[in-house]
Amino acid sequence: MLKLLLQDAKSLVRTMGDPAAMVNFRAMMENTDDYIYFKDRNHVFTGASQALVTLCHPAEHWTDLLGQTDYDVFPEEYADIYYRLEKQVFAGTPVAHEIQKYLTKDGKKGWVDNRKYPIKDSHGTLIGLYGIARDVTEQMQAEAALSASEAKYRELVENANSIILKWNRRSEVLFLNEYGQRFFGYSEQEIVGQSVIGTIVPLLEGTGRDLASLMNEIFADPDKYAYNINENMRKDGSRVWISWSNKPIVEADGCVTSMFSVGTDITERKLAEHALREAHAKYEHLVENIGSEYFFYVHDTQNVLTYVSASVTRMLGWRTDELLTHYSKLLTIHPLNQQSTAYTRAGLRGEKQPPYLVEVWHQDGSTRWLEVNETPIISKNGQVLGLEGIAHDITAAKQAEESLCQAASVFEHAREGIMITDPHGHILDVNRAFTCITGYSRGEVLGQNPRLLKSGRHEQDFYAAIWQALKEKGHWHGEVWNRHKNGGNFAVLQTISTVHGKDGEILRYVSLFSDITAIKEHQKQLEYLAHFDALTGLPNRVLLADRLHQAMSQVQRHGTRLALVYLDLDGFKAINDTHGHETGDKFLTALATRMKQSLRDGDTLSRLGGDEFVAVLLDLQVQEASLPVLHRLLTAAAEAVLVDGLELRVSASLGVTFFPQAEEMEADQLLRQADQAMYLAKQSGKSRYHFFDDEHDRTVRSHHESLGRIRQALKKHEFTLYYQPKVNMRTGQIIGAEALIRWRHPERGLLPPADFLPMIEGHSLIVEIEEWVLEKVLCQIESWRCAGLVMPVSVNIDALHLQQPNFVSRLHQQLTIHPEIQPGDLELEVLETNALKDVARVTEIILACGKIGVGFALDDFGTGYSSLTYLKRLPAYLLKIDQSFVRGMLNDPEDQAILEGVLGLASAFRRRVIAEGVETLAHGKMLLRLGCELGQGYAIAQPMPAEIIPHWLAHWRSGQAWLNSDKAPDPRSSTKEREISEN
């Protein structure tokens, strides 16, 4: 019996792919009282019966177990027991069997007969397991009772609500409890001693089995038949289904002489399964040909969907397999899973209910209205097994009905007035809001023309434009002033639309309007508050801006000028502090009136706030034309004002600017100019006016803009360094190079230092740029040294930078970062004029730099009026003769004399000398003749990028004309003679 059951289960697993079989399998799993489950090789649930949920926490439905393990749903001590038995299956045991304990969610403990079987694929590979566990708590309790006491055992057996049967190897009934006797219809005398086969088990004819072989098989391997489900029969011949639990009775010698069986009636469940299968088969053919507006479904008493026709996909978008597999989708299909309706409750009681309407969700997120007709499924014995239903999509009809209801409701309850007319303008209907807004009842206006509302505030062209818009566009929207029935005027925001027929003919006009009279009045008040000062009634800042813009446009058209006067009261704060704000407000009001009267017609006086006012004086031919008005303003402000018996007095400071100016100017810029001028008037003693100097302002702004652009260029890496070689003109030896900054301007191209450095002279920005230059130079020296090139570089340093408190420490820090730099690689050039400003400080810095290997040169030597004392005190080892002397020495005897003098001083003080501005061969010859061997200039090399230096060095040749010259040309000889000599 048990073997047949297991064969049926294995066959069911093999046919899982069959949809019909799947439906049957689902029905069985939902209704069986046994704990059935399926797991994969990882011990993860892939299926389970609904009965198993009663033991699992926190699962409510068997689908909640999917993807879980025993450790997720059972206490750990129980999960350990179940896991141990499963390992036997995966180790190769065909059947793993054990009586195991369980614990329900409400804390009740019990026992199950747990058997686990392997599941293999078509290749024989073990892919999982399935298990069947029957509740044997009562059986265990019965066995315990038997062990304790025969009397207690007898009492338990006789009173049990299960069939308890004892039978031997010959299939003879040894004992059947009273419940079993009543169930099968036999008395104890009739059944005891009789064969089980032929009494409670159908005869074996046609099965191919005989009694002896069957009994031998059962008693030889009783574990194999520990659990089975059989169709049994009663004395009256009726058939019933019994779930049996069989336990062998082992004698002292180890022989099995009899079996102890406990049976549970599961006939109703089997009938329910059969009835559900019949319900599915009933509609199987019909649903395949049903229209797209209908679908059939079946659900059990737990509202679990067990069947749904394919037409549900066309109606609601869900696939049938989605609905049958994932119960969460049922919430979007059937409202019964969200709330228990009276219809369903009555249906599950077996009562036929009328159709009802329900709104459900479509898979795409929209909603559908269904008319649902449900019929209870009733078994032969009268048990309600579930509901079968047909759903009809009535969405279109429902929407049409709702649209009509909504239209009627909107028309009657809308807060906007609605008026409908025929093509000739006769009023066909109005709503309640129309009556409230216009004062006319519905009966008074039907058949009338809307002209009865005409207020007279609009010209005929206004109404003509409305009809033109309706003709061309089919609609018009705007504001209209109408006349109320009581004669008063009211404003409405109105929309008129044309309604056309199928053939394009005009059927009617529909007008919707809202009363905006209160809004218009409030808007008028807000406009005043938004444009005028609440205290003085003068234009405020907003209106001032508008009038100033208009005034600027006006004077440009007329070719005149305007004056913008910024007025601040001197001493008003003292009035407020002494007499209170109320007195101060009265004083401001009276003073504002007096100052306004001092202006000309067309001028504007506005209050910005507090004690600040601005006046706009129009149509001035010249600036001087503003003076009379300015004097009157000063006088008006200075005169005493009587407030509540107090004589109060202030003065005013006026800042004045004019428009137009040499540059384009915005209104807010004019206001700032006048404000600045007013502060200068205050600083000058108050009670006066001050004119804004726009020329000085342009110069300052231009300087600030230049500084900003140079700072931006530094951030954008627009600066670069060029290097001009310095040589010994007699030997041809390269002694170094001077780093010269250039600006790669994105619009003006490559700019020399003279085009931008003067702008930042004396500004902190020069320090930032020279810091950048020093860092770049140190990186370049280090790079050349790594390439095998030793090239000392000199850098120009501004006095502001040189005298920074941290100059030496900062320089030492930079040198530390570049360890390849050697003493003598870096030279700093400082202008002689800068060095002479603070000889002691500069001397201290030069000595400190010398200790870290950095030398100094005095640049542009000869231009600073230096005395012999200064030259003696400054420890600069190199003097750079200013290029103006070098360039002029060929033609100017005085320049040559200065040059000779400098060379003499340098020799006397043991200083080296280098000449700048060596631009021709003649300059080089003359310098060598005078004893100056070091030179720098275009005749040697122009400034070049760092990457060009190695190439220039490879091709550098000293001028032979310099080296071979025994005698330099006489600077006093003629030009032609010098040319012949140079050639």
pLDDT of residue 12: 41
Residue type, 718: E
Identify the band that residue 360 occupies on the pLDDT scale cut at 50, 70 and 90. Answer: confident
Question: Which spans in 91-235 are helix H?
Answer: 137-148, 150-159, 178-184, 188-191, 211-220
Whether the per-residue pLDDT at 965 is higher than 60: the answer is no
Instruction: Give residue-wise pLDDT tens across range 526-574.
Output: 878 888 998 999 999 999 999 999 999 999 999 999 999 999 999 999 9
Q: Is the pLDDT reported for residue 960 higher than 60?
A: no
- Helix, strand and coil in the chain, % to nearest 5: 45, 25, 30
User: What's the pLDDT band for 899 if we cut at 50, 70, 90?
Assistant: confident
pLDDT tier at 14 (50, 70, 90 boundaries)? very low
Confidence of residue 286 (pLDDT cuts 50, 70, 90): low
pLDDT score recorded for residue 274: 72
Residue with tokens 């119960």: 327
**Average pLDDT rounded to a whole number, residues 226-236:** 85
Best CA proximity match to 377, nearest among 350, 398, 402, 354: 350
Lowest mean pLDDT among 8-17, 666-675, 825-834: 8-17
Q: How far lies 139's CA from each of 100, 245, 263, in Å?
A: 13, 8, 10
CA dihedral of 310, 315, 317, 318, whole degrees rounded to 10: -40
Mean pLDDT of the chain: 83
Please tell me the predicted confidence (pLDDT) of residue 152.
Answer: 59
826 or 283, higher pLDDT: 826
Percent of all residues in the chain with a pLDDT value above 90, rounded to a whole number: 35
Q: What is the pLDDT of residues 934-955, one digit of tens each?
A: 999 999 999 999 999 999 998 8
pLDDT score of 451 more than 60: yes
Lowest average pLDDT, out of 7-21, 852-866, 934-948, goes to 7-21
Q: Which residue has the higher pLDDT, 400 or 661?
A: 661
Q: Is the separation of the CB atoms in 566 and 612 below 8 Å?
A: yes
Residues near 704 by Cβ (< 8 Å), separated by ≥ 6? none
- Compute φ and ψ for 291, nearest 5 degrees: -70, 165
Rounded mean pLDDT of 184-197? 89
Average pLDDT of span 121-149: 82
When pLDDT is cut at 50, 70 and 90, the band that residue 151 belongs to is: low
**Per residue in 111-124, pLDDT tens?**
999 999 999 888 88
* Token pair belonging to 16: 């899982």
Residue 7 has pLDDT above 50, yes or no: no
Long-range contacts of range 782-786, CB-CB < 8 Å, 24 or more positions apart?
A: 782/818, 782/820, 782/821, 783/946, 784/949, 785/820, 785/821, 785/822, 785/825, 786/820
How confident is the model over 730-746, as pLDDT tens digits?
988 999 999 999 999 99
- State residue 495's pLDDT score: 92
Q: For the chain, how many residues are written?
A: 983
At position 207, the amino acid (one-letter code) is T
CA distance 501 to 499: 7
Stated as kind and residue range, the H or E segment containing 712 is helix 694-715
Phi, psi (rounded to 5 degrees) for 100: -130, 155
- Asked whether the beta carbons of 39 and 117 are under 8 A apart, the reply is no
CA separation, residue 405 to residues 358, 393, 398, 402, 770 (Å): 18, 20, 11, 5, 83
Burial class from Cβ neighbours inside 10 Å (0-12, 13-18, 19+) for residue 151 reads: exposed
Lowest mean pLDDT among 514-523, 631-640, 800-809: 514-523
pLDDT band of residue 719 (cuts 50, 70, 90) is very high
Q: Judge whether residue 661 has pLDDT over 60.
A: yes
Q: Can you tell me the distance from the alpha carbon of 331 to that of 337, in angstroms, rounded to the nearest whole number? A: 6
Q: Give 236's contacts (C-beta < 8 A, 6+ positions apart).
A: 185
For the record, the structure tokens of 17 come out as 């792919």
Distance CA 112, CA 299 (A): 30
Tens of pLDDT, residue by residue over 193-205, are 888 888 888 876 6
Query: Is this model's pTM higher than 0.75 or not?
Result: no
Inter-CA distances, 780 with 773, 791, 818, 826, 932, Å = 10, 9, 10, 11, 29
Backbone angles phi, psi at 39, to 5 degrees: -140, 155
Residue 105 is predicted with a pLDDT of 81
pLDDT band at 968 (very low <50, low <70, confident <90, very high): very low
Asked if the model's pLDDT at residue 970 lies above 70, the reply is no
